[in-house]
Amino acid sequence: MSKIGLIGDFDVEVVAHIAIPQAIQLASDDLGYQIDIEWIPTSSLENGFEQKLATFHALWTVPASPYKSMQGALNGIRFAREHNVPFLGTCGGFQHMIIEFARNVLALSEADHAEENPTSSLMLVAPLTCSVSEKTHTFKLTPGSKVADIYGGLEIVEQYGICNYGLNPEYAPLLEKAGMRITGIDTEGDTRIMELINHPFFMGTLFQPERSAFKNIVHPIIRAFLQKVIQ
């Protein structure tokens, strides 16, 4: 039996926090493999995180930031990246995935989130030009990318949760040069999916694939994520 850690501060009022366990269950049933989940509060990862995370087969950094501990969330993401642990970040998880990469791979120690530090000198995650909260959008996928292979096509339609922040395009070239590849954009050309090359599964989406569970649909990204867990 495999175990997935959900990095985030569980709140019954957050739609995604209700959807994610359901989405994992749907995908695990479809694959015929039992998956256990465990919520990991961000504050619990501030210290000694490597030992705490060593028993997990995959990690998912969930929506609903600011987290109680940004550093705890970043530590969890770093662990997944450095130890080749399958990783998924959705919405806030996506935003913090790129902050972790910028700080620890690109050595941009000041890289920050506009919602958490609006006076930051390096605003990696910035306010979106237009809020996409609770909206459905069309996205174009990069040919040859992992996410394009997962969907089996180059155009998809997905739904956001409450989302007002995304990648500052000024820093996109730096991230891509270092291996954090943009693999999904919206119709305006803004980044909505990124994945790390040379990693078994390390992907972030600004939209929330977990919401497919409310329609009793097995989401292809979540199914592919679980497939990496059980391999």
Note whether 64 and 93 are within 8 A (CB). no
Query: Which H helix or E strand runs over 60?
Result: strand 58-61
In angstroms, the CA 174 to CA 181 distance is: 10
Whether the per-residue pLDDT at 131 is higher than 80: the answer is no
pLDDT of residue 48: 96
Query: Which H helix or E strand runs over 223?
Result: helix 220-230
In 10 A of CB 130, how many CB atoms? 9
pTM above 0.75, yes or no: yes
In 10 A of CB 203, how many CB atoms? 27
For 205-223, write each residue's pLDDT tens digit. Answer: 999 999 999 999 999 999 9
3-state secondary structure 167-198: ECHHHHHHHHHCCEEEEEEECCCCEEEEEECC
In angstroms, the CA 9 to CA 4 distance is: 15
DSSP 102: H
Whether the per-residue pLDDT at 193 is higher than 70: the answer is yes
pLDDT of residue 1: 82
Mean pLDDT of the chain: 94
pLDDT of residue 127: 87
Buried b or exposed e, range 131-166, using 16+ CB within 10 angstroms:
ebeeeebebbbbeebbbbebbeeeebebbbbbbebb
pLDDT of residue 136: 78
pLDDT of residue 35: 96
Note whether 183 and 193 are within 8 A (CB). yes
In angstroms, the CA 62 to CA 73 distance is: 10
Mean pLDDT of the region 74-83: 99
Query: Which H helix or E strand runs over 156?
Result: strand 155-159
The token pair at 178 is: 């270092």
Whether the per-residue pLDDT at 133 is higher than 60: the answer is no
Q: Which fold has domain 2-230?
A: Rossmann fold (3.40.50)
Mean pLDDT of the region 82-91: 98
Q: Is 115 exposed, middle or buried (0-12, 13-18, 19+ CB in 10 A)?
A: middle
Residue 151, helix vs strand vs coil? helix
Whether the per-residue pLDDT at 105 is higher than 80: the answer is yes
For 134-148, write each residue's pLDDT tens digit. Answer: 667 899 999 999 999
